[in-house]
């Protein structure tokens, strides 16, 4: 399955490896899930991972580099012509459209519960799902 993994899922997956986000990180590493990324998403990860509140989790520099390689790619700019509850989510939606993803995987309630966005994505053959929903769909 071709998906955009939201930053919150990557971070959660690195912190709690046995959690649904952690199993997604593992499945991505094993190439069982195809990740769509963008430079904007890689930049966000690069900004979030070194934050002081995450230092106590001892996320390795190797893990950070690996994620940035997986998430950073050059996608064309696309317009997100739907109103989002949080405009900061636009890069996630744009990556899904530009990368022709089947789904956005997130723990962000703004994305998961936005009915207008869900309808807009459904019309384009995409969905917004939680990490647990992705694992269920993939029988992981």
The ranges assigned to domains in the chain are: 2-138
Predicted confidence at residue 74, as pLDDT, reads: 66
DSSP string covering the chain: -EEEEPHHHHHHHHH-TTSHHHHHHHHHHTTSSEEE--HHHHHHHHHHTT-HHHHTT---HHHHHHHHHHH----------S--SSGGGHHHHHHHHHTT-SEEE---HHHHT-HHHHHHHHTTT-EEE-HHHHHHHHT-
Predicted confidence at residue 59, as pLDDT, reads: 85
Predicted confidence at residue 67, as pLDDT, reads: 81
Q: How far apart are the first and last CA of the chain?
A: 12
Q: How far is CA 24 from CA 1, 10, 87, in A?
A: 12, 8, 25
CB hemisphere CA count around 127 (13 angstroms): 7
| 2-138: CATH number | 3.40.50
Confidence band for 136, pLDDT divided at 50, 70 and 90: very high
Residue 124 has pLDDT above 90, yes or no: yes
Residues 10-46: pLDDT tens digits? Answer: 999 999 999 999 999 999 989 899 999 888 888 888 8
Q: Out of 2-11, 47-56, 88-97, which region has the weakest mean confidence (pLDDT)?
A: 47-56
Instruction: Record the pTM.
Output: 0.91
Residue 125 has pLDDT above 90, yes or no: yes
Q: How far is CA 120 from CA 9, 90, 94, 123, 124, in A?
A: 22, 13, 12, 5, 7
Residue 137 has pLDDT above 70, yes or no: yes
Residues 49-84: pLDDT tens digits? Answer: 888 998 888 888 888 888 878 787 766 667 788 889
């Amino acid at each position: 399955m071709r998906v955009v993994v939201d930053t919150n899922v990557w971070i959660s997956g690195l912190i709690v490896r046995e959690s649904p986000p952690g199993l997604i990180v593992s499945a991505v590493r094993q190439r069982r899930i195809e990740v769509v990324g963008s430079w904007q998403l890689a930049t966000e990860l690069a900004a979030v991972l070194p934050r002081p509140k995450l230092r106590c989790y001892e996320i390795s520099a190797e893990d950070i580099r690996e994620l940035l390689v997986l998430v950073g790619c050059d996608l064309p700019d696309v317009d997100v012509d739907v109103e989002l509850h949080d405009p900061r989510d636009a890069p996630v939606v744009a990556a899904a459209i530009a990368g022709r993803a089947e789904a956005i995987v997130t723990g962000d309630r703004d994305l998961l519960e936005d009915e207008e966005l869900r309808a807009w994505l459904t019309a384009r053959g995409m969905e917004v799902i939680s990490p647990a929903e992705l694992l269920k769909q993939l029988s992981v």
